[in-house]
Chains A and B, each alone.
Chain A
Amino acid sequence: MRLPCPLCGDRDRREFFYQGAAVTLDRPARDAGDAAWNDYLHNRDNPAGETRDLWHHEAGCGAWIVVHRNTVTHEVYGAELAQKAKA
């Protein structure tokens, strides 16, 4: 698998560290309540199909990126810098 780093271009998967679903970018407010925080910290969907994941280009430019891909077809649709991404 190759991932399209917005800075470096298409790179081998072994250059990247996988963090998990990009929902972590959508941090609840401090006073959002236990349910919202529990959901944010612990509950994840396990979709067959399209996902948005956070990856770290650790053996590359060091950027965190959000990769939009499909776990069924293995198609990679694109990626953007996490600092510019909307959750």
Chain B
Amino acid sequence: MVKLIAKSPCMGLLPKTIGAVDLTEVEPALITLIAPFAGQTKAVSAALKDALGVSFPAPNRAVGTGARAVWVGMGQALLMGANCPDLKGAACIDQSDAWAIVRIDGVDTSAVLARLTPLDVRDSQFKRGHTARTLVGHMTASITRLGVHSFEVMVMRSMAGTLVHELEQAAENMAARATA
């Protein structure tokens, strides 16, 4: 029998510290895409709230701490860190292995991201609990603010290497400017 080895998307690439920026991989055991059917968003949200204590997030918002729900597009959210309850009014798709997720911490984080995305990530515009679908370099990505100096960036798993490379490069450039 072939012995298969489970590999995380960023295995061998992270963690890394560059200047004042820490890059770490986030591995929620389970990721489920939830897409409520037409007219079912309220009912689905109530069912989620009952089962896990998180509601279906409004556009551009991420909710919850243990079980988290992150808005990822029109009529779609990702449930992370919990088993998806039986939801009658929604399509629920297991995407646990589909995403590469990198957490960025440190005082320079918004400056690093500003080099890579057209999104305005300044504190005044993009607060904790805010999330957005946007670009990181040429990749479509999901960016969520976790705290004052913390962000989470998600891309499709096949782009894990590129995401780490882009973040590294931007962080190195920031660090070089700091010491110049």
A residues contacting B by CB (< 8 A) are: 7-9, 11-12, 14-15, 58-63
Contacts and interface: CB of A to CB of B under 8 A. Distances in A.
Contacts of B118: 11-12, 14-15
A11 B60 contact: no
Contacts of B74: 7, 61-63
B103 to A, nearest CB: 22
B134 A7 contact: no
Contacts of B134: 11, 15, 59-60
Contacts of B133: 8, 59-62
Closest 5 CB pairs of A and B: A12-B118, A62-B73, A63-B74, A7-B59, A61-B74
Contacts, number: 37
A79 to B, nearest CB: 14
20 contacts: A7-B60, A7-B74, A8-B59, A8-B132, A8-B133, A11-B118, A11-B134, A12-B118, A12-B135, A14-B118, A14-B135, A15-B118, A59-B135, A60-B132, A60-B133, A60-B134, A61-B73, A61-B133, A62-B73, A63-B74
Nearest to B117: A12
Nearest to B58: A7
A59 B137 CA distance: 11
Contacts of A59: 133-135, 140
Nearest to B118: A12
Contacts of A63: 73-74
A10 B72 CA distance: 17
Contacts of B59: 7-8, 61
A60 B74 CA distance: 9
A63 B76 CA distance: 11
B76 to A, nearest CB: 8
A60 B133 CA distance: 4
B135 A8 contact: no
A17 to B, nearest CB: 12
Nearest to B132: A8
Contacts of A14: 118, 135
Nearest to A10: B120
Interface centre among A9, A12, A61 (most CB of B within 10 A): A61
Interface string B136-154: 0000100000000000000
A1 to B, nearest CB: 12
